[in-house]
Amino acid sequence: MIRKVRAHLPFLAVMLVVGLAFGRIALQHWREGTTELGLALLLAGALRASLTRTAAGLLAVRSRRVDIVTYVLFGLVVIAVALTITGGPLATR
């Protein structure tokens, strides 16, 4: 039982950050929340890089290299977009 729970801890850590990010977005802090979503993807990439396939649990979807590149690339793109969007209906005054 404990082994099954331990296998899902990395995924749970990432989903905790995602939950906090969605909470920020729901409170109208969309830029900070979106940046936190990007950080969650970077965390997933770091965990996938440092853990074995078995220990990574649900973070291990494809080969290790593809998972890491995908998580890190998407995380950086999400952060870059969140930090560079200006104006629009959601802009802070």
pLDDT score of 89 more than 70: no
Confidence of residue 92 (pLDDT cuts 50, 70, 90): low
Question: Would 52 be classed as within a structural domain?
Answer: yes
Question: Would 89 be classed as within a structural domain?
Answer: no
Contact between 44 and 14 under an 8 Å Cβ cutoff? The reply is: yes
Question: Would 53 be classed as within a structural domain?
Answer: yes
Question: Would 92 be classed as within a structural domain?
Answer: no
Question: Would 90 be classed as within a structural domain?
Answer: no
At residue 9, the pLDDT reads: 93
Domain that holds residue 33: 2-84
| pLDDT per residue as tens digits for the range 9-20 | 999 999 999 999
Tokens coding 73: 């690339």
Q: CA separation (Å) from 49 to 4, 8, 32, 44, 85? A: 20, 16, 25, 9, 30
